[in-house]
């Protein structure tokens, strides 16, 4: 099974389990556990010169946290575990070696349907939360991530030649390779959620760069979207 398919299935399974779990745990326990699934778009900052990104770079996140209330107040602290998958769509192909990863613009003479990078992280989120009696909530947090999978997918014509594969045929082809070199293994940055009941607007700013300094672009994402927290 491909890792992308495995991650999607894992998201789905965990969400189904969380729904079932919410119906069997008691009310006291439910107040200390939160499960969320979200969708967002990545706004990639400091893209390499000449490279254009798509307007919407959809990604997905899943998180589960244990909540520690501050007495009987509306404030609490939460720590948990999560997964996130970031996608970058654009007019590029990449050349990835152990020493450097470089983005190149796809020539205007080449027709292509899709060029996409995917990077997935296992994450530890921390949050300070406020939830009023009117069900309005605000969560200010920070999360660190461990890179667990990466890939580049291309659908289009050749000729394109990189260290990773060569397309000599000018007819449309579909290729994919796993393991982009020189990605940072650890990432981190602040998060923000503002919500009402189970619907939350979500933001994340990756302070760390996606690629190792001097071995890849200085790019990093700002993620904006929403998170559903059924309990």
Q: Read off the pLDDT of residues 6-25 as tens digits, 9 standing for 90 and up.
A: 455 555 555 554 555 555 55
Helix (H, G, I), strand (E, B) or coil at 131: strand
Q: What is the pLDDT of residue 108?
A: 86
Q: What is the pLDDT of residue 19?
A: 55
8 Å CB contact between 67 and 31: yes
Q: What is the pLDDT of residue 112?
A: 87
Return the half-sphere exposure (C-beta side, CA atoms, 13 A cut-off) of residue 2: 11
Residue 213, C-beta contacts closer than 8 angstroms, at least 6 positions apart: none
Structure tokens, 191 = 């998060």
Helix (H, G, I), strand (E, B) or coil at 25: coil
| Residue recorded with tokens 């450097």 | 100
Q: What is the pLDDT of residue 172?
A: 76
- pTM exceeding the 0.85 threshold for the entire prediction: no
**Number of CB atoms found within 10 A of residue 132's CB:** 10
What are the φ and ψ backbone dihedral angles of 22, each rounded to 5 degrees?
-65, -20
Domain count, the chain: 1
Q: Collect the ranges in the chain with pLDDT lower than 70.
A: 1-31, 231
CATH number, domain containing residue 97: 2.40.160
Q: What is the pLDDT of residue 156?
A: 84
Q: List the domain range (segments joined by +) for residue 164.
A: 3-228
Q: What is the pLDDT of residue 1?
A: 43
Q: What is the pLDDT of residue 95?
A: 86
What string of DSSP letters covers 52-75?
-B-S--EEEEEEEEEEEE-TTSSE
Q: What is the pLDDT of residue 22?
A: 52
Q: What is the pLDDT of residue 88?
A: 93
Burial 40-76 (b: 16+ CB within 10 A, else e): bbbebeebbeebebbeebebbbbbbbebeeeeeeeeb
8 Å CB contact between 85 and 118: yes
* pLDDT tens-digit series, residues 137-164: 999 999 999 999 999 998 888 787 777 7
User: Average pLDDT over the chain, rounded to whole?
Assistant: 85
């Amino acid at each position: 099974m491909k890792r992308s398919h495995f991650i999607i299935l894992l998201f789905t399974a965990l969400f189904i389990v969380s729904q079932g779990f919410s119906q069997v745990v008691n009310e006291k326990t439910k107040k200390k556990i939160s499960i969320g699934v979200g969708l967002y778009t990545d706004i990639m900052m400091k893209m390499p010169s000449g490279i254009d990104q798509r307007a919407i770079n959809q990604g997905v996140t899943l998180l589960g946290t244990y909540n520690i209330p501050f007495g009987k107040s509306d404030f609490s602290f939460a720590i948990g575990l999560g997964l996130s998958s970031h996608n970058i769509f654009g007019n590029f192909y990449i050349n990835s070696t152990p020493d450097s990863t470089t983005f190149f613009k796809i020539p205007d003479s080449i027709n292509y349907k899709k060029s996409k990078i995917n990077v997935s992280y296992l994450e530890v989120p921390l949050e300070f939360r406020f939830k009023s009696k009117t069900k309005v909530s605000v969560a200010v947090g920070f999360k660190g991530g461990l890179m667990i999978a990466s890939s580049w997918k291309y659908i289009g014509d050749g000729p394109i030649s990189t260290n990773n594969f060569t397309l000599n045929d000018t007819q449309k082809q579909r290729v994919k390779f796993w393991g982009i070199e020189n990605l940072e293994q650890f990432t981190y940055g602040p998060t923000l959620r503002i919500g009402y009941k189970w619907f939350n607007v979500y933001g994340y700013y990756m302070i760390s760069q996606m690629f190792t300094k001097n071995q890849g672009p200085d790019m990093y994402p700002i993620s904006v979207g929403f998170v559903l927290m059924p309990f």
